[in-house]
Chains A and B, each alone.
Chain A
Amino acid sequence: MALIVAGLSHHTAPIDVREQVAVAPHETPRVLDDLARATGAAELALLSTCNRTEVYVVEGEEPAAPPIWEHLSLRLGGTADAAAYGYVRRDREAAAHLYRVASGLDSMILGEAQIHGQVRDAWEASRSTSRAILNRLFQSSLLVASRVREETAVGRGAASVSSAAVQLSKKIFGNLSGRRAMVLGAGDMADLALECLVSEGVRTAIVANRTYERAVALAERHGGEALHYDDCWTRLADVDVLLCSTAAPHPIVERAQVEPAMRQRGDRPLCILDIALPRDVASDVGMLDNVFLYDLDDLRSVVETNLERRRQELPTAESVIADEVEQYWQWLAGLAAVPVLRTFRSQMDRVREDELARALKKLAHLAPNDRAAVDLFSRALMNKFLHEPSVRLRAASANGHGLAIVDALRYLFALESSESGTPPDDTPNAEGR
């Protein structure tokens, strides 16, 4: 009973390979069925996102990795070997890998939160082929991810320029709900940043652009109001956030335009986010009282600082994961020991019964009471012999070292054929979590 993960990710495969191998949600049941047939696995789960496609397997009699590579290679058109782009992790390493993935430690942007939901969805989609071992693994991975987020700063702070713009605005205004924003320019960056601001509850978005039609298009997309560029200065006093993203070759927001607006605003602060290159806002605007001016370098600096801080938290996150992997492994070892121990005892009991029957045939002259005494003796002897190994196996399982002993027991007493397969699923289903 080996736990493995085989797959490829952004660390090992270029985007075109990942695109071809990725499994769409509607394909998942069919792919899982195909893989289950091909691998003969006891349990199977598939995690496929834009950055990774991984198959988690509790192996059956045969190694599962070759058929998985075969299947993934077919998705590449049969011209390339998927194994060349992939990796296989076994046992503890496989569990630790899923814990890292779910916690965002293996993501392209360290600590990103979206993967948590994707792991949950993958588990849901794989319920038909997962049992106790994988259910427990996926369930615990979600809990580990929550623990990592709670106990470390791995997921804290903005990790993109547009979210950094939101983080800075929120540092000044707290909640952005109901605030007013004006956007100068109607390019892609403006679109993205405005989307972030609107999603945070910015109420009125005013878009001003030299090409009025483009301003109208962007304003309509975000439920805002379009203005002719020359009219925007009269509205500056009303807004809390000014987002500048034009293609102008020189500063278009000068101190002379902002100063009157600030007088009208009284003491209320104004946050100016200049994400244009070259900059749209003259640097002396930032010296005005109550004006908070940030350019692209500042936003990137926020992002870089946050990512660096996330990286500094990696050792703490890894120690949380190591701790949880150990707990999972103890559980798994205990789970594996129970059926083996049961099979071992029943096999020994069969041997005892056979030998007892043979002996009693030769001792036919014995009275029933004496026959019962011999039976009792054989049982007591067997229990004496099996007591110490059973206790030691349970103890080894409890401290996480049981799997090797379980395998040795299986091998020495030829238990493979008589042992029942995967243990029953004692993990609550997703709805019951």
Chain B
Amino acid sequence: MIALAHAVAIVLYLAAAGLAAIPFARPIRAPVRSVIWVLAAGIAVHLVALGDFVRIHGEPPLTGLGPAMSFAAVLVAITLLTVEALAREVSLTLFAAPLAALLTGFASLTGMVPGPEADGMRGVWLTSHIALSFLGIAAFATAAGAGVMYLVERRELKSRRFGAIFRFFPPLETLDRVNHVAVVAGWLALTVGIGLASSYALEYRTGHAIKMVWAYSAWLAVTALTIGRVVRGWCAHRAAMLTNLLFAGVVVLYIAFRVIDPLKGRFL
């Protein structure tokens, strides 16, 4: 059931991306309502999969690589749906929906097996930390997606090419605003999420050094961006460039830590 629902969700996420890409094939507007409905259907099916996981294992899909990836994917899709439903603008689907499909596929391939779980208050603490941290990373990914689109469109505008990207990408200003909001939201979620993790580690004298190094690196990256945007007034090209560099750095660090992790399986 979980595997089937995941497969259907992947198909729906990719279908939403396909619908959003229609303007590149024919010079008409993207079917905003259809994209939103297909995306919402994908999220609904994905939530069915996660609900089934909770029913079978009696715990939220937050521990273990597969469940966590699947949870992150649905968060990316929900963030995307919220942004697009509010803005009535679906070009971000081109990047974020395939990302959600990729994460879901990765979760299915890895196996939806829960990791070691803490009980009682420790369980609530741990669950809140993981949920908020994933939310923060999902927002960071959204900011990076908007940043990529900004850089692609800026390149087209600077080089005076007036093709499909010129016609169908949202204005640079809109992408910059999405980047700004996502960075600040990501910083808030990551700050609380990692704060909870730090308190948890101190309280229960537990922790995993590599995981903490990665988490603090991600938090520092988002914090630097937030300070840059809110305090120093970074915006536009600089903000998009730095968001992508820092997000790429966080992803590379994650992959490196996965490779060198001495406690295989404990690091997400």
Question: Which residues does A use to contact B, with CB under 8 Å?
Answer: 151-153, 156-157, 168, 170-175, 266-269, 286, 289-290, 292, 294, 298, 301-302, 305, 309, 312-313
Whether B262 is near chain A, meaning CB under 8 Å from some CB there, is: no
Known contacts A173-B171, A269-B172; decide if A301 and B162 are in contact (CB<8 Å): yes
B236 contacts across to A, CB distance below 8 A? 267-269, 290
Closest chain-B Cβ to A241's Cβ sits at a distance in Å of 13
Alpha-carbon distance A157/B173, docked complex (angstroms): 19
Q: Is the CB of A267 within 8 A of B233?
A: yes
- How far is the CB of B131 from the nearest CB of chain A, in Å? 33
Cα–Cα, bound, A305→B166 (Å)? 11
B262 to chain A, nearest CB (A): 43
Q: List 12 A-B contacts (CB under 8 A).
A: A156-B27, A156-B167, A174-B171, A174-B173, A174-B174, A175-B173, A267-B233, A267-B237, A269-B237, A292-B158, A301-B160, A305-B162
The A-contacting residues of B in range 140-177, CB under 8 angstroms, are: 153, 157-158, 160, 162, 166-167, 170-174
Residue pair A153, B27 in contact (C-beta under 8 Å): yes
Residues of B within 8 A of A (CB): 26-28, 153, 157-158, 160, 162, 166-167, 170-174, 233-239
Among B160, B167, B237, contact of A157 (Cβ-Cβ < 8 Å): B167
CA distance A171 to B153 in the complex (A): 9
Docked CA distance A266–B233 (Å)? 8
Cα-based distance from A286 to B160 in the complex (angstroms): 10
Q: Would you call B238 and A312 a contact (CB within 8 A)?
A: no
B162 surroundings in chain A (CB, below 8 A): 301-302, 305
- Shortest C-beta distance, A344 to chain B (Å), equals 48
**In the complex the two chains form, is A267's CB within 8 Å of B235's CB?**
yes
List 8 other contacts, CB 8 Å, given A157-B167, A174-B171, A174-B172: A151-B28, A156-B167, A171-B171, A174-B173, A267-B236, A267-B238, A290-B237, A298-B160
Q: Which residue of A lies closest to B172 (CB)?
A: A172
Residues of A near B171 (CB, < 8 A) are 170-174
Q: A171-B166, A301-B160 are in contact. Are A289 and B237 (CB under 8 A)?
A: yes
**CA–CA, A298 to B26, complex, Å?**
23
Across-interface contacts of B174 in A (CB, < 8 A): 174
Please name the 3 residue pairs, one residue from A and one from B, whose CB atoms are nearest each other, closest first: A174-B171, A153-B27, A174-B173
Chain B residues whose C-beta falls within 8 Å of the C-beta of A172 in the assembled complex: 157, 171-173
In the complex, what distance in Å separates the CA atom of A313 from the CA atom of B23?
13
Please state if B160 and A312 are interface contacts (CB–CB under 8 Å).
Answer: no
A265 to chain B, nearest CB (A): 10
Q: How far is the CB of A197 from chain B (nearest CB, A)?
A: 15
Residues of A within 8 A of B26 (CB): 153
- The answer to whether B233 touches A152 (Cβ under 8 A) is no
Q: Which residues of B contact A268 (CB under 8 A)?
A: 235-236
Q: Given the complex of chains A and B, what is the CA–CA distance between A312 and B27 in angstroms?
A: 9
A289 to B157, CA, bound (A): 12
Nearest CB of B to A202, in Å: 14
Contacting residues, chain B, for A267 (C-beta < 8 A):
233-239
Q: Which residue of A lies closest to B170 (CB)?
A: A174
Is A294 a contact partner of B233 (Cβ separation < 8 A)? no
Q: List the B residue with the shortest CB-CB distance to A153.
A: B27
